[in-house]
């Protein structure tokens, strides 16, 4: 990350990845009967309508520049009206899972691209291009895993709340106002990131064939 080229490429991949995450939510909602995101002009890969100054720019930049062991942030959430979904419980779960699926798909595409460039000899190991693309793979894996955590307002909280009995869903709803504080406490006071790192490493090595 100390090389300007790698920094710019990884930050650009990060921004487009969080944008794709939100567009995926809105696109799946549209397929399920809710055109709210479409009408709001949010089904576009143009990053400008999606940028949240703090979450999309300031927070990830601070983490990258500080050499943090993870990079996290997000775009402005796309508007979803669950009352317009055809099958509210099933479709809301699909909408929630769509962002995670988008990040995993981007990780797979970047990994396939990188492996192809290495096999063809266009890229070599430890070159700036290799490091940049590998970092992009890692960023998307982390975004997917982090968003799967069952803590509001992350996507995992909705998925768990919809998969399990209504009591779990009500608990997740009650945790919404304090979810971000709870998330910070779990990061700082528990080995949560260490567990995520083990799973992240397994998926990263699997995708890149290491």
For the chain, the average pLDDT equals: 88
Measuring CA to CA, which residue among 55, 95, 97, 103 is closest to residue 75?
55
- pLDDT tens for residues 91-146? 999 999 999 999 999 999 999 999 999 999 888 888 888 999 999 999 999 999 99
- pLDDT tens for residues 154-175? 998 888 887 877 777 777 777 7
Measuring CA to CA, which residue among 141, 155, 161, 205 is closest to residue 183?
155
- pLDDT tens for residues 197-208? 999 999 999 999
- Give the number of other Cβ atoms within 10 Å of residue 33's Cβ: 14
Domain residue ranges of the chain, discontinuous segments joined by +: 4-208
Q: Does 185 have pLDDT greater than 60?
A: yes
Phi, psi of 190 (to 5 degrees): -130, 165
Q: CA-to-CA distance for 15 and 11, rounded, in angstroms?
A: 6
pLDDT at 138: 94
pLDDT at 1: 56
Q: Does 69 have pLDDT greater than 70?
A: no
Is residue 153 part of the annotated active site? The answer reads no
Measuring CA to CA, which residue among 9, 175, 16, 44 is closest to residue 102?
16
Catalytic option among 10, 16, 18, 22: 22
- pLDDT tens for residues 3-15? 788 888 888 998 9
Stretch 55-65: mean pLDDT, rounded?
Answer: 81
């Amino acid at each position: 990350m100390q090389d300007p080229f790698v920094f710019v490429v990884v930050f650009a991949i990060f921004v487009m990845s969080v944008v794709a995450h939100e567009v995926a939510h809105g696109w799946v909602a549209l397929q399920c009967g809710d055109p709210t995101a479409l009408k709001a002009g949010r089904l576009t890969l143009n990053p400008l309508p999606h940028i949240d100054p703090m979450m999309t720019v300031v927070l990830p930049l601070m983490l990258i520049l500080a050499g943090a062991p993870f990079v996290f942030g997000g775009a402005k959430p796309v508007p979803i009206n669950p009352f317009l979904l055809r099958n509210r419980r099933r479709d809301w779960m699909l909408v929630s899972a769509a962002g995670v699926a988008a990040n995993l798909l981007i990780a797979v595409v970047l990994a396939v691209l990188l492996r192809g460039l290495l096999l063809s000899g266009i890229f070599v190991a430890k070159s700036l291009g290799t490091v940049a693309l590998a970092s992009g793979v890692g960023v998307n894996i982390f975004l997917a895993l982090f968003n799967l955590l069952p803590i509001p307002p992350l996507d995992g909280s909705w998925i768990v709340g919809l998969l399990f009995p209504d009591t779990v869903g009500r608990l997740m709803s009650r945790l919404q106002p304090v979810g971000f504080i709870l998330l910070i406490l779990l990061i700082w006071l528990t080995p949560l990131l260490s567990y995520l790192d083990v799973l992240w490493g397994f998926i990263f090595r699997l995708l890149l064939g290491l």
